Amino acid sequence: MVTLTVNGQVIQAAEGQSVLHAALAAGVYIPHLCDHPDLEAKGGCRLCSVTVDGGDVPVPACTTTVAEGMVVDSRTEAAELTRRTSMELMLATHPADCTGCPKYGKCELQSLYQYMGVNGQDWRMKSRPVPNNDSNPLISHLFTRCIRCGRCIRACQDLRGVKVLDYIRDGVGVHAGVPGGKSLVEAGCRFCGACIEVCPTGSIVDAVGVMEKHPAYADNVVPCRAECPAHTNIPEYIRAVREGRPGDAVAIMREKLTFPLTLGYICNHLCETGCKRTDVNDPLSIRNLKRFAVENDKEQTWKGKGFMKPRTGKRVAVVGSGPCGLTAAYYLNKLGHDVTVLEKRPQLGGPMTSGIPAYRLPIEGVNAEIDYIIQSGVKYEVNHEVSDVAALKKDYDAVLVAVGVSKGKKLGFLPGANFDQVYTAIDVLADLRANKDISYLGKTVCVIGGGSVGFDAARSLVRKGLTVNLACIEPADKILADKEDQVEGAEEGVNILPGRSFEEIEGTQEKVTGLRVHTVKSSTYDRATGKVTEVAVEGSQTVIPCDSVIFATGQYTGLQDFENFGIELNRMGYPIDPETGKSGFKTSVEGIFAAGDAITGISFVIKAIASGREVTSVIDKYLGGDGDIEETLVERTADPHIGEFPGFGTLPRVEMDVIDPETRVKNGDENVYRTYTCEQAHCEAQRCLQCDLRLQLETVKLWNEYGGGE
Name residues whose C-beta falls within 8 Å of residue 538's C-beta, 6 or more positions apart in sequence.
Answer: none
Q: Where are the alpha helices (DSSP H) in 392-451?
A: 425-433
Give me the long-range contacts of 578-583 (CB less than 8 A, separation at least 24): none
Which of the residues 647 through 706 are near other proteins (CB under 8 A)? 702-705
Count interface residues toward other proteins (CB under 8 A).
78
440 contacts other proteins (rule: CB under 8 A): no
Q: Which residue's CB is nearer to other proteins, number 105 or number 209?
A: 105
Containing H/E element for 4? strand 2-6
- The Cβ-side half-sphere exposure at 298, using a 13 Å CA radius, reads 2
Q: Which residue's CB is nearer to other proteins, number 291 or number 586?
A: 586
- Pick one of 123, 305, 410, 518: the residue that binds other proteins (CB under 8 A): 123
Minimum CB–partner distance for residue 395 and other proteins (Å): 35
Name residues whose C-beta falls within 8 Å of residue 351's C-beta, 6 or more positions apart in sequence.
Answer: 322, 323, 404, 406, 605
- Pick one of 8, 53, 68, 129: the residue that binds other proteins (CB under 8 A): 129
- The Cβ-side half-sphere exposure at 88, using a 13 Å CA radius, reads 12
Q: Which residue's CB is nearer to other proteins, number 3 or number 132?
A: 132
- Pick one of 10, 96, 543, 678: the residue that binds other proteins (CB under 8 A): 96
Angle ∠(165,696,107) on CA atoms, nearest 5? 65
Which of the residues 50 through 69 are near other proteins (CB under 8 A)? 57-58
Minimum CB–partner distance for residue 96 and other proteins (Å): 5
134 contacts other proteins (rule: CB under 8 A): no
Interface map 203-222 toward other proteins (x if CB under 8 A): -----------xxxxxx---
Residues in the chain: 710
- Pick one of 21, 32, 151, 175: the residue that binds other proteins (CB under 8 A): 175
User: Segment contacting other proteins (CB under 8 A): 36-44, 266-274, 402-410, 482-490?
Assistant: 36-44
Nearest to 73 by CA among 3, 2, 9, 1: 9
- Pick one of 174, 434, 476, 487: the residue that binds other proteins (CB under 8 A): 174
Q: Which residue's CB is nearer to other proteins, number 222 or number 642?
A: 222
- Pick one of 15, 68, 106, 508: the residue that binds other proteins (CB under 8 A): 106
Q: What is the DSSP letter of 157?
A: I
- Pick one of 3, 15, 53, 104: the residue that binds other proteins (CB under 8 A): 104
Q: Which residue's CB is nearer to other proteins, number 328 or number 697?
A: 697
Rounded Cα–Cα distance for residues 141 and 147 (Å): 13
Phi, psi dihedrals of residue 397, rounded to the nearest 5°: -75, -30
User: Segment contacting other proteins (CB under 8 A): 105-113, 273-281, 411-419, 662-670?
Assistant: 105-113
Rounded Cα–Cα distance for residues 123 and 175 (Å): 20
Taking the CA atoms of residue 501, residue 507, residue 510 and residue 512 in that order, the dihedral angle to the nearest 10 degrees is: -50
Q: Which residue's CB is nearer to other proteins, number 219 or number 243?
A: 219
Minimum CB–partner distance for residue 100 and other proteins (Å): 6
Rounded Cα–Cα distance for residues 22 and 43 (Å): 16
Minimum CB–partner distance for residue 209 and other proteins (Å): 13
User: Segment contacting other proteins (CB under 8 A): 126-134, 423-431, 490-498, 620-628?
Assistant: 126-134
177 contacts other proteins (rule: CB under 8 A): no
User: Segment contacting other proteins (CB under 8 A): 82-90, 512-520, 632-640, 673-681?
Assistant: 82-90
- Pick one of 113, 191, 396, 565: the residue that binds other proteins (CB under 8 A): 113
Minimum CB–partner distance for residue 388 and other proteins (Å): 36
Name residues whose C-beta falls within 8 Å of residue 131's C-beta, 6 or more positions apart in sequence.
Answer: none
DSSP string, 167-219: EEE-SS-EEEE-GGG--HHHHT-----HHHHH-SSSSEEEPTTTT-SSSSHHH
562 contacts other proteins (rule: CB under 8 A): no
Q: Which residue's CB is nearer to other proteins, number 168 or number 192?
A: 168
CB-based burial, 80-106: b 16+ in 10 Å, e otherwise: eebbebbbbebbbbbbeebeebebeee
Q: Are 128 and 172 in contact (CB under 8 A)?
A: yes
User: Segment contacting other proteins (CB under 8 A): 97-105, 244-252, 472-480, 598-606?
Assistant: 97-105
409 contacts other proteins (rule: CB under 8 A): no
180 contacts other proteins (rule: CB under 8 A): no
User: Segment contacting other proteins (CB under 8 A): 94-102, 486-494, 560-568, 663-671?
Assistant: 94-102
Q: Which residue's CB is nearer to other proteins, number 90 or number 162?
A: 90
Q: Where are the alpha helices (DSSP H) in 451-604?
A: 452-463, 483-492, 597-600
Minimum CB–partner distance for residue 235 and other proteins (Å): 18
Q: Which residue's CB is nearer to other proteins, number 87 or number 461?
A: 87
Helix, strand or coil for residue 338? strand
Q: Which residue's CB is nearer to other proteins, number 92 or number 683?
A: 92
Nearest to 125 by CA among 158, 163, 160, 96: 96
Phi, psi dihedrals of residue 364, rounded to the nearest 5°: -65, -40
Minimum CB–partner distance for residue 95 and other proteins (Å): 5
Amino acid, single-letter form, for residue 626: D
Q: What is the DSSP letter of 68?
A: T
User: Segment contacting other proteins (CB under 8 A): 130-138, 365-373, 461-469, 574-582?
Assistant: 130-138
Q: Are 335 and 308 in contact (CB under 8 A)?
A: no
Helix, strand or coil for residue 13? strand
Measured CA to CA in angstroms, residue 255 lies from 230, 307, 459, 629 at distances of 10, 11, 34, 9
- Pick one of 19, 90, 189, 224: the residue that binds other proteins (CB under 8 A): 90
Q: Where are the alpha helices (DSSP H) in 243-362?
A: 246-254, 260-266, 270-274, 286-295, 323-334, 351-354
User: Segment contacting other proteins (CB under 8 A): 93-101, 382-390, 449-457, 463-471?
Assistant: 93-101
Other CB atoms within a 10 A radius of the CB of residue 493 amount to 16
321 contacts other proteins (rule: CB under 8 A): no
Interface map 141-170 toward other proteins (x if CB under 8 A): ---xx--x-x----------------x-x-
- Pick one of 29, 36, 49, 689: the residue that binds other proteins (CB under 8 A): 49
Q: Which residue's CB is nearer to other proteins, number 223 or number 349?
A: 223
246 contacts other proteins (rule: CB under 8 A): no
User: Segment contacting other proteins (CB under 8 A): 127-135, 318-326, 365-373, 484-492?
Assistant: 127-135
- The Cβ-side half-sphere exposure at 359, using a 13 Å CA radius, reads 27
- Pick one of 107, 164, 400, 685: the residue that binds other proteins (CB under 8 A): 107
527 contacts other proteins (rule: CB under 8 A): no
